[in-house]
Chains A and B, each alone.
Chain A
Amino acid sequence: MLNARSDLRAGQRLNASVEGSPRSLSPALMRMAIAYQADWRERTLSPRGTSACDWIKEALRMDYVIRFVAGGAVVSIFAVLGDLLRPKSFAGLFGAAPSVALAMLALAFAKQGSAYVAVEGRSMLLGSLALTLYSIAVCQLLIRMRVSAMTASVLAMIVWLGGALFFKSILLGSI
């Protein structure tokens, strides 16, 4: 019996016998069989082997790789368009192109469906309003405060984050 506890197939046979003819077993054997059944179910339903963990890690890593490549490619395409077009104020439109969103929403739509994308789109609407505030802040910092583009764009991140969280807390109810 002890050997059988470590054997998955024996467990399956035992399960079949317990479920099939419970009255033909003695009470002690019945208790042992039920205990084993619970143990077998736990082991079967939640495998703790390293191979499963590795598989999940690998899948997650692959998802990140796909996101990285898709996001990088879409962003690069919009950046090249922004470089090519003149005047500068028109080319700047492509600085706020939904490049990250295109890659992310396509993956989310394929994986989680339209309901998930609807929730993300709703939040993206608030994020893009915060991006408007960010652009205004960058302009003001560059022209009035006369700081460099790097300093202005990094400092204005505070405006974006603050604006996005403010809009979310006001319009969606929680941060």
Chain B
Amino acid sequence: MIVRIKRSALKQTHGYEYLVRFALGGLATVFAGVIAERFGAATGGLFLAFPAILCASATLVEKHERDQKARKGLKGTERGRRAAALDAAGAGWGSLAMALFALVTWTFCALRGRDLTWVSVDRLGVRRDQPFFFPAAKFRCG
């Protein structure tokens, strides 16, 4: 796979589409913050991987491909759908990279304040004698 930069793609994107993405990104961040404040960090953290951007991105990719075909007098519905599917497939791989990012963040932050972490984590509702994952397991962690 040869990766290249297509500058002309920026001209296809209208100003309002950037605004929509900005607003969606901002709203997703605020929403994740509200959930974290209301239900705690453990639930709020799930929403750090909320697929708001992917939703907007797939829709825009489909629209751009359809418009490109329509300018040539062709019907681009199928091509738009396939382009959006490719975008989503890429996002699937990206989500694994995001999982790696989350793992590194978790490990780094847990190790950084190791002594204080357990005290604070106790306050957040995780028992010290239970592992972070599989709370029903019998072994000790940390």
Q: Which chain A residues have a beta carbon within 8 Å of chain B's beta carbons?
A: 63-64, 67-76, 78-80, 82-101, 103-105, 107-109, 113-132, 134-136, 138-139, 142-143, 146, 148-150, 152-154, 156-157, 160, 164-165, 168, 171-173
The answer to whether A95 touches B98, judged by C-beta atoms less than 8 angstroms apart, is no
The answer to whether A97 touches B98, judged by C-beta atoms less than 8 angstroms apart, is yes
* Alpha-carbon separation in the docked complex, A157 to B54 (Å): 11
State the majority secondary structure of interface residues on B. Answer: helix
Q: Which chain B residues have a beta carbon within 8 Å of chain A's beta carbons?
A: 1, 3-7, 9-10, 12-13, 18, 21-30, 32-33, 36, 41-59, 61-62, 80-99, 101-103, 105-106, 109-110, 112-113, 116-117, 119-121, 124, 126, 132-136
* Alpha-carbon separation in the docked complex, A158 to B40 (Å): 22
Inter-chain pairs besides A95-B54, A96-B98, 9 sampled, C-beta below 8 Å: A85-B4, A97-B98, A118-B106, A122-B102, A127-B49, A138-B54, A142-B88, A149-B61, A168-B46
Report the minimal beta-carbon distance from B111 to chain A, rounded to whole angstroms.
Answer: 9
Report the minimal beta-carbon distance from A58 to chain B, rounded to whole angstroms.
Answer: 16
For A114, list chain B residues within 8 Å (CB).
109-110, 112-113, 116-117
For B133, list chain A residues within 8 Å (CB).
122, 171-172
With known contacts A96-B92, A142-B88, A146-B81, A124–B49 Cβ distance under 8 A:
yes
The answer to whether B41 touches A96, judged by C-beta atoms less than 8 angstroms apart, is no
Contact of A138 among B9, B46, B88 (CB under 8 A): B88
* Alpha-carbon separation in the docked complex, A2 to B30 (Å): 49
For B42, list chain A residues within 8 Å (CB).
119-120, 122-123, 168, 172
The answer to whether B32 touches A160, judged by C-beta atoms less than 8 angstroms apart, is no
* Alpha-carbon separation in the docked complex, A83 to B124 (Å): 40
A105 and chain B: residue at smallest CB distance: B105
Contact of A83 among B13, B49, B93, B126 (CB under 8 A): B13
Contact of A136 among B23, B54, B92, B101 (CB under 8 A): B92
For A86, list chain B residues within 8 Å (CB).
3-6, 9
For B10, list chain A residues within 8 Å (CB).
80, 83-84
With known contacts A127-B47, A172-B133, A93–B110 Cβ distance under 8 A:
no
Contact of A68 among B12, B27, B98, B120 (CB under 8 A): B27
